[in-house]
Structure 1
Amino acid sequence: MFEPTLIIAAAGLTGLVIVAAAMLRGWQGWLELKRSELEGHHGPRAEEGSSMGAARIELADLKERIKKLEAIASGVDL
């Protein structure tokens, strides 16, 4: 009734469709993740830890950079 090559071709085509659908779904998920990042929604990781502590560390880092730039501007070697 059905030849083996026809069955193999149909199975291969079905597998290819399944893989393509899975990859398309993954791609759409990745695009949605990037959209939410651009909109400023960082997801559950943004809720972890203290944002105040991170802000203090960043502020200290900026102050240190300013001191270094001021030293460079005045000609002092650090």
Structure 2
Amino acid sequence: MTDPNLYLTLATTALAGLAMLTFAALTGWRGWLQLKTQELHGHGDLPLQQTMPNASARIEIADLKERIRKLEAIAAGVDL
């Protein structure tokens, strides 16, 4: 067990394994940082459906606005 080649091979293998683990961890860390940077700057890739309200939502908002106008008119004492 005093063969220097065995110790050299084990040390080289351990160093190569450590280098691979370090590289994988560094790649994951950089990806996580990039994700957090995108979240902070608001550059997330949102689908078009989430950015544009659909027709039923717009109709509902218009209906609510009309109800508010009627309630304000009632509160002001205006006859409709």
Matches within 5 A, 1:1-78: 2-43=4-45, 46-47=46-47, 49-51=49-51, 52-53=53-54, 56=57
Runs of 4+ in 1 over 4 A off after TM superposition: none
- Look up the SS of the partner of 2:49 in the other structure: coil
Identity of counterpart residues, as a percentage? 34
Q: Provide the aligned C-alpha RMSD in A.
A: 2.6
What are structure 1's unaligned runs of at least 5 residues?
61-78
Q: TM-score, normalised by structure 2?
A: 0.55
In structure 2, distance between residues paired with 1:21 and 1:33: 18
Higher Rg of the two aligned structures: 2
In structure 2, distance between residues paired with 1:17 and 1:5: 18
How many residue pairs match? The answer is 55
Q: TM-score, normalised by structure 1?
A: 0.56
